[in-house]
Amino acid sequence: MKLGLLKGKEVVQSKNIGIYDSGSYEDEANSNVSLAFSLPIKGKFRLGAELGLLSFRSFLDYNFTYENKAVERFKGRYKINQAFVAIVPEYRITKWIYINGGAGLYSDFNSHFTSGNRTLGATSNNITGLEYKRSNSFGYLVGLGICPNITNELAVLGEIRFTGSPASIEAADNIGIGYRAFNFNLGLMFKPK
């Protein structure tokens, strides 16, 4: 079981629309909670898996320039809540220091503006509830951690990792929102023999 904090930035993408960040920033605590385990495979290699929930929130301020040169501004708070499951291969540098990397399904179950406005010319509309859920469910991680044993099968865990969940431009209006973040985790890890 581990709890973590994420520090990073949203990723906004589009195929056909010019995008300019007018000053977006992370303004709320981003967090995750997960269950993890790892099994020895051969020598210093282990195979792990992780299942959890993740929340990423930020204040977005973007200008979108369309082919007809019209500029639309989106300004508001956006949240991404995900459930994820990942396969995480691991290499033990020493008995309790490891590096790992993995990928899995990071599925948005709640992804929308919690407040904000969309402005085009003199017209402004409230965008609370507007969704840019990713149509793909891919996420990845690369990390470094320590896990000194408490017992033969239980260890204290501390890790830093880079976590990403790419934007999907097949979403509404051909705009996709994802994130890239550093993730700091603390917890306990089960390591069956």
pTM confidence score: 0.86
The predicted-structure confidence for 101-128, as pLDDT tens digits, reads as follows 999 999 999 999 999 999 998 999 999 9
The predicted-structure confidence for 60-75, as pLDDT tens digits, reads as follows 999 989 888 889 999 9
Distance CA 13, CA 16 (A): 9
Question: Which of 65-69, 95-99, 156-160 shows the lowest per-residue confidence on average (mean pLDDT)?
Answer: 65-69
Question: Which of 29-33, 64-68, 180-184 shows the lowest per-residue confidence on average (mean pLDDT)?
Answer: 64-68
pLDDT of residue 173: 65
Distance CA 141, CA 6 (A): 12
Distance CA 150, CA 53 (A): 26
Backbone angles phi, psi at 173, to 5 degrees: 60, 20
pLDDT of residue 33: 97
Chain position carrying tokens 């920033």? 25
Distance CA 56, CA 32 (A): 9
